[in-house]
Structure 1
Amino acid sequence: MTQEQNQQQQQQVREAAELAAHFDVTVEQAREMQFSEGQTLIWTEAFKLDSWLILMKPSDNPQQPEPFFGNVDGHGWAFLFTDPMHAQVFGRNNNLVTGGGNVLIAKMKVEAMIAWLEEIGQSGLYGVRFNEGENGWFTPVDSLRAMKEYVEMAARQGGETE
């Protein structure tokens, strides 16, 4: 690895760590607010992202990994992440690693991810769980688009009053 590649990799790690910390702090702030205000804060930050991440299950055919969906309380969930750090931790803690010890992560633009999840939701996917763990949050799939529209409307109204 060249020095430039090493520096780029270190920069990517720093940016991922900063984004992970940002969401952990945001969730902590939301816990101290009224529920609806806290949820609006968390979702506003999530929808500001260009892309969301989803873990891929290691498979016998490394050229054909599949998205990881889990079951919680009898419901099917997509486990999404705001940043590679949260995804890596969850993947390692849940044995979603390749034979070489890697956690496979796919990145998808937010709008495309919502459309894809809505399509899967028609086949029984119940919801999405973001950054699963102590600082995670969740919602049913059929609430994602309405939540996005709500926070966009709130942002427009907030901008009009300033």
Structure 2
Amino acid sequence: MIVGNKKSFAIEFTQSESDPKMGYGKVWIQNEFYGTNKDLIYLDSYLISLINELINELINAKKIDFEFEKLSESELFELFENELNRFDYLIKGSTFTDDFTAYRFNKNGTIFLIWKMWNNKEILFSDLKDYGTKIKFCKVKKVEIENIKDKLLKKATQI
């Protein structure tokens, strides 16, 4: 099941056939996915709370005070990697996002995300085999994240 639109912002989750309390999830931003939907986790509490935590972090993303538009994606990512306050921007992640390093920031009501998959880890999940380590840089309006969060919570209670 997909809640939202992959072209802008969506949450994908599928219930496990063997146990309805478990399933798989993935986040989509501008047709780029963040996370893996091959890692079995609890839907009714664990997955929903992980996605909720991720969404809440995005909604509360720290505002930046530099002109990021003048930087290349690799320069921007490197800036966050070396930033003294990198933990203000870091998305801590969870089970289904363990293979990524990601940062988020807010500018004028738009949430920007920049991430890449680690290149020093063994790839366990099939959907990540061809993902590569290219930096992904996407944006989504704060209001859209809030709307998807509400829809996700409504659908999750119906499972």
TM-score of Structure 1 vs Structure 2, range by shorter chain: 0.3 to 0.5
Q: Normalization by structure 2: what TM-score?
A: 0.32
Bigger radius of gyration among the two = 1
More strand by share: 2
* TM-score, normalised via structure 1 length: 0.32
Give the helix-richer structure, 1 or 2.
1
